[in-house]
Amino acid sequence: MSVLIPNSLERRLHLGLAFTLILLMGVLWLFGAKSIESLTEDFIASRLEHDAEALLAAIVFKQQGIKVRPARVNQIYLRPYSGHYYLVRQRNGAEVTSRSVWDFKLQIPQMKVGESGRLHMLGPEKQQLLVYVSGFRKQGQELTLAVAENLLPIKQQRDLFLRNFALLALLGLVVLLLLQGMVVRQAFRRLEPLREEIKSLAGGDEKRLSEEVPDEMSPLVKEINHLLLLLSRRNQRSRNALGNLAHALKGPMNLLTHYFDKSPSSESRIDTALAGQQVERVRLLIERELKRARLAGSGSTSQRFDPQLDLQDLLDVLKQIYREKQLSIEAVKATDLSPFGDREDILELLGNLLDNACKWAKSRVRCTLTGEDQFKIIVEDDGEGLADEEVARMTKRGSRLDEDTEGQGLGLAIVSDVVTLYEGNLVFDRSPELQGLRVSVVLNRL
């Protein structure tokens, strides 16, 4: 089963720091619990050693055996099941126990002189006893002394402290996580201006990114600015070179066209006409390739097409061009359309589609723009339209649109190039309402 790891750097930092804090608090709690347990046991063992020394001093030897003087020991050893107990055992097995033991039998091992140790065992009423056992010699007699204390009251206090410490640690953890979240958000807030600049850059409002960024982002921003500069220079050089090439080719092509138009030989008129057609075809091909190269050289730093502003300007220009036909050019667009694509690309595409529609329309042309995830364009006219076989040929995979009728070839070839650039789809059919040609274009947001 795969673990979903968030792709957000901010969320990864939140999770990583939260996991670190939780782990740290857990380790501190465990270390504190172990330390308190060890300290309390050492403290009780030290007190039991002192009681054992006092007990050894209180032992006297009588003819009938060992006796412990009550006045020399703590009175708590006299109260039954008080939680404090002692046992004195001679080498021959004779034993003396505290009155607090009552009828309970303490199972204490025999210790050699100088040996000592700690034992954990169950006492009366299932008390949890810590027992200090040591071997002594007094007045030539070898003795084993055992002094025990019930740990349960101290454990209860210790557990209460650990619970309070856990609650306090949990509260501290929550406060630290909140503070950590504020610190991380404040740190990432410094990247907000960079995000806005990138948006402006995509919209064509900015030419470069500000380098007033955190040190970790500075190399990336500098590299982006360097690439933007290179791209801008290459685009400019490409456009200048294409303009110079177009200017250089126009003169020779015009001379060739003029030559074939004025050929005096009637015998070669057919050949001259064919040659003139080929020259015109070469001119159209050159123009198409120049425009295609310009489209391919468009960079992402150009301004985006805004349907709310740019479409109306384009329609106004077309109305002026075709004012003699008195066309009704209608624009239907969604009010929430956001800027899309390169402005020159979309204007080139719409300009060619609408120009073709105006050229063949009788009185009406309609352009519809919609879409959210995709940008959809539909251009319709009320002209003669195309026959079914022509539509099939134009939409057939691999068809060359520049070989269609005059007025459609080059413009539709450019349309096809733009659609390919945006990984979109182009469909020709008949308009159900206007009865003319309908061109439907779907472009993907890159």
Q: Give DSSP secondary structure letters for 121-132.
A: EE-GGG-EEEEE
- C-beta separation of 379 from 366 below 8 A: yes
pLDDT of 368: 92
Who contacts 335 (Cβ-Cβ below 8 Å, separation ≥6)?
none
Task: Please give the structure tokens belonging to residue 294.
Answer: 């310009």
- State how far the Cα of 58 lies from the Cα of 71, in Å rounded to an integer: 8
Among residues 367, 365, 361, 363, the alpha carbon closest in space to that of 326 is found at 363
| 226 C-beta neighbours (distance < 10 Å), count | 11
Residue listed under structure tokens 């380098």: 211
| Right CATH for 11-156 from 1.10.3470, 2.60.120, 2.60.40, 3.30.450 | 3.30.450
- State how far the Cα of 300 lies from the Cα of 201, in Å rounded to an integer: 8
Tens-place pLDDT, residues 319-377 = 888 888 888 888 888 777 888 877 778 888 888 899 888 988 999 999 999 887 788 99
pLDDT of 369: 92
Q: Is 176 exposed, middle or buried (0-12, 13-18, 19+ CB in 10 A)?
A: middle
Maximal C-alpha separation, the chain:
163
Torsions phi, psi for 382 (to 5 deg):
-105, 30
Query: Buried b / exposed e across 140-156, counting CB within 10 Å, b at 16+?
Result: eebbbbbbbbbbeebee
- C-beta separation of 235 from 204 below 8 A: no
CA 181, 187, 193, 194 dihedral sign is negative
Domain positions in the chain are 11-156, 304-444
Which stretches of the chain score pLDDT less than 70?
1-7, 202-207, 234-251, 257, 259-278, 281-282, 284-302, 391-411, 446
Task: Please give the structure tokens belonging to residue 366.
Answer: 């309609």
Q: Give bridge partners of residue 378 from the DSSP assignment.
A: 368, 440
pLDDT of 297: 45
The helix (run of H) or strand (run of E) holding residue 136 is: strand 128-138
Among residues 289, 282, 285, 292, the alpha carbon closest in space to that of 253 is found at 282
Among residues 213, 86, 231, the alpha carbon closest in space to that of 148 is found at 86
- C-beta separation of 125 from 82 below 8 A: no
- C-beta separation of 184 from 14 below 8 A: yes
Torsions phi, psi for 204 (to 5 deg):
90, 5
CA 357, 416, 299, 202 dihedral sign is positive
pLDDT of 408: 46
pLDDT of 289: 59
CA 43, 49, 50, 51 dihedral sign is positive
Torsions phi, psi for 216 (to 5 deg):
-65, -30
pLDDT of 402: 41
**Amino acid identity, residue 33?**
A
Q: Residues 217, 218, 224, 226: what is their CA dihedral angle, to the nearest 10 degrees?
A: -170
The helix (run of H) or strand (run of E) holding residue 44 is: helix 9-58
Torsions phi, psi for 263 (to 5 deg):
-65, 120
Torsions phi, psi for 280 (to 5 deg):
-65, -40
SS3 of residue 348 by DSSP: helix
- State how far the Cα of 271 lies from the Cα of 262, in Å rounded to an integer: 13
Torsions phi, psi for 439 (to 5 deg):
-115, 120
Please give the radius of gyration of the chain, using alpha carbons only, rounded to the nearest integer: 49
Task: Please give the structure tokens belonging to residue 117.
Answer: 């140790």
User: Any idea which fold 304-444 has?
Assistant: Heat Shock Protein 90 (3.30.565)
pLDDT of 261: 65
Who contacts 379 (Cβ-Cβ below 8 Å, separation ≥6)?
350, 353, 354, 357, 365, 366, 367, 368, 438, 439, 441
